[in-house]
């Protein structure tokens, strides 16, 4: 039967390896996991079942680009599918939700953050869902290479919204990560389908290259075939700009792509690359995730990737059409410190964790509300590690996330408010009257005073008010907007030792930091391997290739690579600390600390440093290639001496 359905909906005559097994598990109403290489057809494992299962398939993806790409493909095949994201107009957003609730959609794609949105949650409760699909499912593991704290809550959301089945999708998962994923989602290990990671059409080249020779080597490589679609991966945004300018100056049709570029420009570059109007994209890892361009002929790592998992994922974007592709990494030890510094920048100070615990301990009620951006600035912890910290507190039984609400609701009247009131009778009419009486209009927009409504109408709670506003919006009587997200938590207990818990959680971050640092050295060791690179890469992900030599990697062709450290760094003692940090000190004042100064000199952003715009100072990042801990110790010694004078 499923062969006929495959032909009917997608026009394919045969399944790729592993697809039939996964789809059969899903249609047998079992949860499953598909561990397929990049480009091996994971998406079909939910797309086909979605057309056969009775209700909606809800797909969670961390990638806006992937959503757009998948929806375009599905609509081309006349499959009713849609995505919810911030680029949609209010009317489009509301229309998609109505179609989902009415059973008109088979696939709805969302980001994981959408589950916290109180408006979305009220709609989700009215949807019948057959299957929850978790893309990039390795993000749920703290020991994975792309841990996302919000993913830890997905099993709770699955239970909360009564979704019986789950399908986990990922291209990069070691045995440890697979076990972690399956444990959290209660997927039977026998329902995990792994198709292997070995790609015999990719030539894996490791080229020892000192920093001063990288640009020339890259140019020569690209000039071998200038029109071949190529991705060049770099670590820093400024490197992406510099390298793309260099290539452009030398006649290569290259563009930079990174998170610091306007989203409209990024989308245009991406679309032009798809269409073949751009030959080369020089990008940070912001580019490529979920991008299904089948004819990429080269992936070149100008800088070291962050880990073996990242390397595997990034080279996996080449040669998806099955034809030969060339994957080169230009390696030296000079930029290892840059990679390490990103990791050190995400470890919060123990004192900051302590301050948050104090805040919870002395909070007047057991409901705690916070704006993440404000809390990030207050504690000087970047948003991602702050989210991780809140998850750790959840796991420790101190807090529990409830939902995300909005601090401000506003709307435009599409019809006269008296007409809205007259559409109701009895108690409902009284309720609607109180709502609209507690709204005040400023020019075009009318603002909702939720607390005023609650004070003046004892029969209402917040959720009923939101539901009423949503109903008015659905009917077209108002155009509803919401702003200023507030995270709402329940404080489970205040009976804890602030010192002990802060130390324990800080140690979790330190252990995670050590784990991430070790990933870098594992990767360098991998590139210096004395055995076949393709074989070792497959083995890393649990696949054993029988042959000793693949004959399509640089080791099999040319022998072992020796990775050098070429840059001679001036000793820290040769620099004048006061001179380097004077302007930073003047700007940050009471926030002038060992850690903040170290981050400033190593080019690592933090909420405090961003607030004071220290990136604009001349010495920001002057030690980005120095070991973070060496700089930190040097600064600490200087400050200790200065305070003793």
- Residue 102: C-alpha distances to residues 83, 108, 122, 124, 263 (Å): 16, 13, 15, 12, 33
Other CB atoms within 10 A of residue 305 CB: 23
Which run of H or of E encompasses 11?
none
Q: Per-residue pLDDT tens for 593-605?
A: 888 899 999 988 8
**What pLDDT is recorded for position 645?**
54
Give the SS3 label for residue 226: coil
**136 with 421: CB under 8 angstroms?**
no
Q: Are 42 and 134 in contact (CB under 8 A)?
A: no
Domains belonging to the chain, first-starting first, are 2-194 (3.40.50.300), 202-333+532-558 (3.40.50.300), 572-644 (no CATH)
The 10s digit of each residue's pLDDT in 216-274 is: 999 999 999 999 999 999 988 889 999 999 999 999 999 999 888 887 888 888 889 98
**CB-count burial class (<10 Å; 0-12, 13-18, 19+) for 535:** buried
Question: Of all residues in the chain, what percent are helix, strand and coil, respectively (each to 5)?
Answer: 50, 15, 35
**With a cut of 70, which residues of the chain have pLDDT below it?**
63-66, 143-145, 286-292, 566, 644-645
- The CA-based angle 590-591-595, given to 5 degrees, is 140
Q: What integer pLDDT is reported at residue 287 of this predicted model?
A: 63
pLDDT digits (tens, 9 = 90+) for 60-102: 987 666 677 788 888 888 889 999 887 777 778 888 999 999 9
Q: How far is CA 611 from CA 351, 375, 588, 607, 608, in A?
A: 20, 13, 9, 6, 5
């Amino acid at each position: 039967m499923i062969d006929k359905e495959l032909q009917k909906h997608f026009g394919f005559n045969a399944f790729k390896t592993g697809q039939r097994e996964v789809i059969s598990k899903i249609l047998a109403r079992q949860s499953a996991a598909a561990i397929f290489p990049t480009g091996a057809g994971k998406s079909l494992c939910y797309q086909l079942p979605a057309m056969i299962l009775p209700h909606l398939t809800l797909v969670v993806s961390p990638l806006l680009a992937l959503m757009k790409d998948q929806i375009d493909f599905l609509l081309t095949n006349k499959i009713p599918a849609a995505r919810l994201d911030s680029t949609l107009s209010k009317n489009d957003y509301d229309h998609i939700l109505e179609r989902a609730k009415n059973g008109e959609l088979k696939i709805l794609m969302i980001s994981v953050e959408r589950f916290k949105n109180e408006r979305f949650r009220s709609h989700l409760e009215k949807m019948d869902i057959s299957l929850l699909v978790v893309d990039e499912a390795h993000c749920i593991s703290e020991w994975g290479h792309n841990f996302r704290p919000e993913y830890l809550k997905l099993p709770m959301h699955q239970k909360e919204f009564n979704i019986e089945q789950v399908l986990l999708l990922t291209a990069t998962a070691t045995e440890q990560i697979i076990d972690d994923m399956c444990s959290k989602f209660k997927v039977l290990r026998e329902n995990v389908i792994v198709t292997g990671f070995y790609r015999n059409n990719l030539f894996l080249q490791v080229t020892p290259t000192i920093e001063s020779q990288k640009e020339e080597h890259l140019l020569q490589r690209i000039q071998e075939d200038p029109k071949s679609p190529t991705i060049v991966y770099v670590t820093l945004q400024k490197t992406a700009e510099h390298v793309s300018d260099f290539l452009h100056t030398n006649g290569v049709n290259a563009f930079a792509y990174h998170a610091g570029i306007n989203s409209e420009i990024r989308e245009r570059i991406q679309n032009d690359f798809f269409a073949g109007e751009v030959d080369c994209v020089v990008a940070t890892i912001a580019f490529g995730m979920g991008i299904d361009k089948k004819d990429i002929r080269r992936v070149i790592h100008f800088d070291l990737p962050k880990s073996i998992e990242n390397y595997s994922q990034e080279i996996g974007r080449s040669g998806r059409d099955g034809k030969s592709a060339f994957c080169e990494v230009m390696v030296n030890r000079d930029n290892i410190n840059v990679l390490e510094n990103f990791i050190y920048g995400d470890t919060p100070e123990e004192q900051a964790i302590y301050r948050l615990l104090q805040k919870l301990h002395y909070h007047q009620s057991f409901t705690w509300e916070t704006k993440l951006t404000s809390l990030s600035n207050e504690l000087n912890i970047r948003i991602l590690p702050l989210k991780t910290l809140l998850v750790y507190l959840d796991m420790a039984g101190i807090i529990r996330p409830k939902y995300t609400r909005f601090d401000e609701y506003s709307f435009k009247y599409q019809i006269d408010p008296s007409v809205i009131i007259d559409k109701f009778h009895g108690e409902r009419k009284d309720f609607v009257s109180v709502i609209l009486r507690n709204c005040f209009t400023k020019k075009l927009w009318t603002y909702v005073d939720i607390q005023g409504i609650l004070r003046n109408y004892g029969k209402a709670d917040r959720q009923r008010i939101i539901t009423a506003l949503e109903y008015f919006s659905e009917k077209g009587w108002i155009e509803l907007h919401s702003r200023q997200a507030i995270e709402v938590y329940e404080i489970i207990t205040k009976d804890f030792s602030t010192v002990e818990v802060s130390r324990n959680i800080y140690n979790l971050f330190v252990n995670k930091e050590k784990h991430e640092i070790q990933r870098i050295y594992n990767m360098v060791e991998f590139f210096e391997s004395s055995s076949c690179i393709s074989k070792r890469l497959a083995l890393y992900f649990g696949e054993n290739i029988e042959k000793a030599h693949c004959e399509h990697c640089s080791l099999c062709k040319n022998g072992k690579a020796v990775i050098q450290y070429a840059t001679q760094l001036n000793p820290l003692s040769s620099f004048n600390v006061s001179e380097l940090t004077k302007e930073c000190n003047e700007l940050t004042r009471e926030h002038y600390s060992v850690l903040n100064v170290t981050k400033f000199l190593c080019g690592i952003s933090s909420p405090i440093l961003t607030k004071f715009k220290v990136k604009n100072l001349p010495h920001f990042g002057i030690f980005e290639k120095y070991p973070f801990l060496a700089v930190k110790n040097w600064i600490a010694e200087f400050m200790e001496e200065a305070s003793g004078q």
